[in-house]
Chains A and B, each alone.
Chain A
Amino acid sequence: MMIALVVFPFLTALALVLMQGTWRRVAVMASCLAQCGVAFSLFQLVHTEGTQALALGSWGAWSGIVLVADSLTAGMAVVTSLVALACCMPYRSSWVEHPLRLPLMQILIAGAYFAYITGDLFNLFVAFEILVISSFALLTLDLDNRQISSAPPYVTLNFLASLLFLTGCGLCYGFFGTLNFALLSQVTPQHPLESSILLTILLFAFLLKAGVFPLFYWMPNAYPNLPAPVVALFAGLLTKIGVYASMRVLGTALPMPAEVFYHVLFWVGAVSAIFGGLAAFSAKRISFILTYHIISQIGLMIMALGAQSAMAWAGCILLLWHNMIVKPALFIAGDEARQIYGTDDVRSMGGLIKLAPLIAMVFFLQAMSLAGIPPLSGFWGKLVLFMQGAELGHLALIFATILGGFLTLMSMLKIWIAVFWGEPTTSTTQGQFKTTPASVTFLVIALLMGLGAYYFSQSAVDAAESVKDFLSYYQAVIELPVKGARL
C-alpha cells in the first residue's frame, strides 16, 4: 500500500511520456483516482490498525530504509491526492499543453507522497530533492522570459536549503549513528547539545522551504508567472511540505528540544503571519496578493507549532489541510478572472459578478474560507488556535491569529470590491466564461471540509497526537522483522 502510493505517480509519469492526445487525459485521471483510492484505504488502515511500518528489503532500522505511515502521514496523503486530482484535470481547451508538464506534475506528486511516508531523514532529503528538481523544471517549462528571470533566486535559495538539509543529515549520522526517526527519538533526549545543533540546521532548511518571513524571497517572484494548474500544485504542496517536515522532526525525531526553539518558531510565525497579511494588502495584482497570503498562512501554521501543545498542533494541521485545498482553488479562480480581462491588476478589472457569476461565486466562497468565516473550512483551524490561546493564557497567539485573519479578510475584500463589483470594464458578452472542472472540484472538497468539520477536526487531532506520540512510532518500527544480524 505504502509503496503503491509512491510508485503509482512515478509509473504514470513514465507512461504519460509515451502517450498522446485523449489517452493522456484518460490515463492521468485514472491514475489520480487510483491514487485517491490508495490514499483513502491507507487512511482507513491506519485508522483501524494503528501506525503501519515497512522495512524495505527487511534490513533493520539502523541501516535500512523504513517506510512508516501514521495518522498524519495518511491524512496528508489523502489531501495531497485530492489536490493532485484537481490540478491534473483538463484546464482550458485553448491552453497549449507542454508534453512534459503532466509527467513532471506527477513526479512532483510522487515526491510529496514519498516525503510523507519515509521514516528516515535522508530519504526525506531525497523526497525534497525530487520535489524541488521537478519544480525547477516546471518553473521554466514554457521558456517564458519572466519565468526564466525569476528562476535564479528560486533555484539558488532552494539549492542552499537542500545543502543545509544535507549537512543536517551528515551531522545527524555523525552524532547519533542513525538517520531513522524512530531510533533518533530514543537517542536524542540524552544529547541535548547535539540535538540543538541539528535542529537549528534542519529547521532553518525547512523554514526556507516553507517560505516564512525572513526567508520568503524566492516565492513572490516565481509564483505569479506560472500557469494556473502548476501554481495551484506548487501552492498546494511545496511550502506545506516544509511545515510537515518541521512537524515530523520536532514531534517525532527530536521530540524534546530546548524551549527556545518553540519560542523562535512562535515569533517567526507571528511576524510572518502579520507581514504576509500587510504585503498582501499592499499588492495590486491578484496573483501577488495570493502569493503573499501563502506567507501569512504558513506563518500562522508555524506559530501554532511554536505554541507547543497537542491541540495547537491540531489547529496547525487543520490550517495546513484547509490551505492545501483553498489556496490552489484561489489561484485557479484568479487565473480564470485573468483570462477575461487579460490582466490581473485589480485596478483595471471590474464587474466580474455580471460577466461570470459562477467564477465570482467560487472565488467568494474560497476567499471567505481563507479569511476564516464560519462554517467554511478555514474557520475551524482558527477556532482551535483561538481556544488554545485562551486555555494556555497565550495572548500573543490570540492576537496574531485575529490580526492575521483580519488582514486576510481586508485583502480579500480589496479583490472583491475592485474586481467583482462595479461596472464591467471589458465589452465581452455575458455567459461566455465557464468555471473549470478543477475549481469546481476544489470548491466541493472545501465545502465538504467545512461542513464535515467534526470528522475533519477529529482526524487532525488524531494526526497531531500521533506525530507527537514517538513511543508508538518507535514500537511500530522496532517490531519489524529483521533479516539476520548483518553489520
Chain B
Amino acid sequence: MPVEFALALSIAVAMGVHQMLQRSLMNVLFGIIILSNAVNLLILGMSGSPTHQHAPILENAEALTQSVAPLPQALILTAIVISFAATAYFVTLLYRVRLDQHTLDLKELSPQKDSES
C-alpha cells in the first residue's frame, strides 16, 4: 500500500472515529458513513499498488500476470451495497427519533429503565 494511500486512510478513520464519539446521533451517523467508506478504501488498498499493473480484464493471458487482484473490487461492491442498506435504515430511524423526541442529543434520549414497566 503506498504511503499516501495509507495516510489518507488513517485520516478518514480518525475523522470517522471522532464523529462517532460526539453526543449527537447525527454526528454518529456521519461517523459511521465515513468509517464505512474508509473500510472500503482499505479493502481496495489490499489489491496492491496499481502502478505498472493492468486492469484485470480477460483479453490476453500474459497481461493477467501483471494485473491487480480483482477480488477486492468484488468485495467492495458487496460491502457498499450492504452499508448503503444499513445507512438508509439508520437515516430513517434518526428521522423518526427526531419526530418523536424532538432531539437527537444522546444525553436527552434516555433509555428505558428496569424499574419502569
Q: Interface residues, chain A, CB within 8 Å of chain B?
A: 63, 122, 126, 129, 132-133, 136-137, 140, 143, 145-146, 148-153, 155-156, 159-160, 162-163, 166-167, 169-171, 173-174, 177, 221, 224-225, 283-285, 288, 343-345, 487
B85 interface hit (Cβ, 8 Å): yes
B86 pairs with A133, CB closer than 8 A: yes
B46 pairs with A166, CB closer than 8 A: no
Q: Chain A's nearest CB lies how many Å from the CB of B18?
A: 14
A221 pairs with B86, CB closer than 8 A: no
B117 pairs with A167, CB closer than 8 A: no
> Residue of A at shortest CB range from B32?
A159
Considering the chains assembled together, what is the distance between the CA atoms of A133 and B85 in angstroms?
8
Considering the chains assembled together, what is the distance between the CA atoms of A151 and B79 in angstroms?
22
Interface size (B, Cβ < 8 Å)? 39
Residue among A126, A137, A170 making CB contact with B46, cutoff 8 Å: A170
Interfacial chain B residues near A166, Cβ < 8 Å: 36, 39, 43, 79
Interfacial chain B residues near A169, Cβ < 8 Å: 43, 75
The 5 residue pairs across chains A and B that have the minimum distance between CB atoms? A174-B46, A170-B43, A343-B117, A221-B111, A129-B82
Considering the chains assembled together, what is the distance between the CA atoms of A285 and B113 in angstroms?
10
> Residue of A at shortest CB range from B93?
A151
Residue among B25, B70, B117 making CB contact with A285, cutoff 8 Å: B117
Q: Interface residues, chain B, CB within 8 Å of chain A?
A: 1, 20, 25, 28, 32, 35-36, 39, 42-43, 45-46, 56, 64, 69-72, 75, 78-79, 82, 85-86, 89-90, 93-94, 96-97, 100-101, 106, 109, 111-112, 114-115, 117
> Residue of A at shortest CB range from B88?
A133
A284 pairs with B39, CB closer than 8 A: no
Considering the chains assembled together, what is the distance between the CA atoms of A146 and B112 in angstroms?
7
Residue among B42, B46, B96 making CB contact with A148, cutoff 8 Å: B96
Residue among B79, B86, B114 making CB contact with A159, cutoff 8 Å: B86
Interface centre among A146, A284, A487 (most CB of B within 10 A): A487
Considering the chains assembled together, what is the distance between the CA atoms of A344 and B78 in angstroms?
43
Interface centre among B46, B56, B69, B114 (most CB of A within 10 A): B114
Beyond A126-B78, A285-B117, is A487–B96 a contact (Cβ under 8 Å)?
no
A149 pairs with B109, CB closer than 8 A: yes
Considering the chains assembled together, what is the distance between the CA atoms of A140 and B95 in angstroms?
13
B112 pairs with A162, CB closer than 8 A: no
Interfacial chain A residues near B94, Cβ < 8 Å: 152
Considering the chains assembled together, what is the distance between the CA atoms of A148 and B56 in angstroms?
46
> Can you sample 27 A-B contacts with CB below 8 Å?
A129-B86, A133-B82, A143-B96, A148-B93, A148-B97, A148-B100, A149-B100, A149-B109, A150-B111, A151-B93, A155-B93, A159-B86, A159-B90, A160-B20, A160-B32, A163-B32, A166-B39, A166-B43, A170-B42, A173-B75, A174-B1, A177-B69, A221-B112, A284-B114, A288-B114, A345-B115, A345-B117
Considering the chains assembled together, what is the distance between the CA atoms of A140 and B90 in angstroms?
11
Q: Chain A's nearest CB lies how many Å from the CB of B87?
A: 9
Interfacial chain B residues near A156, Cβ < 8 Å: 20, 28, 32
A167 pairs with B112, CB closer than 8 A: no
Q: Chain B's nearest CB lies how many Å from the CB of A241?
A: 17
Q: Chain A's nearest CB lies how many Å from the CB of B73?
A: 11
Interface centre among A156, A162, A166, A487 (most CB of B within 10 A): A166
Residue among B71, B82, B111 making CB contact with A153, cutoff 8 Å: B111
A149 pairs with B90, CB closer than 8 A: no
B89 pairs with A137, CB closer than 8 A: yes
Considering the chains assembled together, what is the distance between the CA atoms of A223 and B43 in angstroms?
34
A136 pairs with B112, CB closer than 8 A: no
Interfacial chain A residues near B86, Cβ < 8 Å: 129, 132-133, 136, 155, 159, 162
Interfacial chain A residues near B89, Cβ < 8 Å: 133, 136-137, 155
Q: Chain A's nearest CB lies how many Å from the CB of B37?
A: 10
> Residue of B at shortest CB range from A172?
B46
Interfacial chain A residues near B100, Cβ < 8 Å: 145, 148-149
A163 pairs with B70, CB closer than 8 A: no
Residue among B32, B36, B69, B82 making CB contact with A126, cutoff 8 Å: B82
A170 pairs with B117, CB closer than 8 A: no
Interfacial chain B residues near A153, Cβ < 8 Å: 111
Considering the chains assembled together, what is the distance between the CA atoms of A159 and B106 in angstroms?
17
Interface centre among B1, B70, B96, B106 (most CB of A within 10 A): B96
A167 pairs with B39, CB closer than 8 A: yes
A163 pairs with B36, CB closer than 8 A: yes
Beyond A159-B86, A166-B79, is A173–B114 a contact (Cβ under 8 Å)?
no
Interfacial chain B residues near A288, Cβ < 8 Å: 114
Residue among B56, B70, B93 making CB contact with A140, cutoff 8 Å: B93
Q: Chain A's nearest CB lies how many Å from the CB of B61?
A: 10
